[in-house]
Amino acid sequence: MRVAVYYSNKDVRIEERDIPEINDDEILVKVIASGICGSDVLEWYRIKKAPLVLGHEISGVIERAGRNIKNFKIGDRVFVSHHVPCMKCHYCINNHHTACETLHKTNFEPGGFAEYIRVPKLNVELGTFKLPDNVSFEEGTFIEPFGCVLRGQRLANLRENETLLVIGSGISGLMHIKLAKSKGIKKIIAADINEFRLNAAKRFGADYAINANDDVVSKLKEVNENRLADLVIVCTGALSAAKEALNCVDKGGTILFFAVPKPDEKLEIPINDFWRNEIKAMTSYGASPQDLKESLEFIENEKINLKDMITHRLRFDEIGKGFQLVAEANESIKVIVEPNK
């Protein structure tokens, strides 16, 4: 089978490997669609582990099923999550599923940028979902990233009467905007340095769009009755964006770091100001099985339309172009690769 092996953002090679063997408790999935995530092009993080096969936003068809598999069969259309928690440890019991050690160790083999993947037993049991007839393979690639967005807004406790500022209007920022719009949030404001993405933010539900090269604080107050934002969601790893978020949150507000700067970059928090004004800084990472189930239900019941965020559909041999599109972050939003084309 063909796999796409990551050496760097500018060096993704199509190579040949054997189709993985499965045991009695596993399934083999033929990958039909695979999304390129912004985290796939975080070169500072990925390159130290290269070469490797990336890809975790996948949907496909079960090609083989082990003899002990009861809930799935050959031919089932499925979404598969790469990371799953144990559901038994202290962190899972207390609803911190993405802090579970098992979640950080699980994966399918070799990665979503391959024609076939082997799905281990735990991933079959907790991370594999049948796609309803009205959910396409392309829509299936949104289940994991949108599940992360659902989890983030739930943890941040976003409420209807609040003003939301989303810093970074890439795919994750735009999904946050779409979700907030579907909830009827009072006021949604987007900030980015890219005009293409700012226009996309307005198209997908932002009431206002601010160029982050301008004075964001002043522009924010202009459109928000001289107030800052109740919730700021940071959807870019740029340190400048993280710093800007500290200045944009209102008294009693919350900053959700959905994306974070590089590990060697330090962010100084004005803790005295935060203390006096009861400001909360928090993070969100990944999605639990329940988040993924909710994400699928949103898509199945057409509570949200994510298909119109797809800007590029690429053959497998074009995946290098896909990595460049996502890394450059110019005029792309959702980039999907089709490994079996």
Please tell me the total number of residues recorded for the chain in this structure: 341
Distance spanning both ends of the chain, measured CA to CA: 12
CATH 3.40.50.720: which residues of the chain?
Answer: 148-283
Rounded CA separation 91/293 (Å)? 20
The CATH T-level fold of domain 2-142+306-338 is: Quinone Oxidoreductase; Chain A, domain 1 (3.90.180)
- Strands (E) across 163-270 are located at 163-167, 187-192, 208-211, 229-234, 249-257
pLDDT, position 101? 97
CA distances from 326 to 47, 146, 319 (A): 16, 17, 11
What is the number of other CB atoms lying within 10 angstroms of the CB of residue 176? 32
What is the number of other CB atoms lying within 10 angstroms of the CB of residue 250? 20
Return left, alpha or beta for 65; rule: phi > 0 is left, psi -120 to 50 is alpha, else beta.
Answer: beta
Relative to beta strand 128-130, strand 163-167 is: unpaired
Element (H, E) at 13: strand 11-16
What is the number of other CB atoms lying within 10 angstroms of the CB of residue 134? 10
CA-based diameter of the chain, in Å? 64
List CB contacts of 264: < 8 A, sequence separation 6 or more: none
CATH class of 148-283: alpha beta
Give backbone dihedrals phi and psi of 41, rounded to 5 degrees, phi first. Answer: -105, 15
What is the number of other CB atoms lying within 10 angstroms of the CB of residue 330? 12
CATH 3.90.180.10: which residues of the chain?
Answer: 2-142+306-338
Q: What is the DSSP string of 67-113?
A: TT--S--TT-EEEE-S----SSSHHHHTT-GGG-HHHHH---BS-SS
List the chain pLDDT tens, one digit each, 341 residues.
999 999 999 999 999 999 999 999 999 999 999 999 999 998 888 988 999 999 999 999 999 999 999 999 999 999 999 999 999 999 999 999 999 999 999 999 999 999 999 999 999 999 999 999 999 999 999 999 999 999 999 999 999 999 999 999 999 999 999 999 999 999 999 999 999 999 999 999 999 999 999 999 999 999 999 999 999 999 999 999 999 999 999 999 999 999 999 999 999 999 999 999 999 999 999 999 999 999 999 999 999 999 999 999 999 999 999 999 999 988 999 999 999 98
pLDDT, position 230? 98
Rounded CA separation 37/171 (Å)? 8
DSSP state of 133: T
The predicted model scores a pTM of 0.96
Name the token pair of 72.
């799935």
Angle among Cα 97, 100, 106 to the nearest 5 degrees reads 105
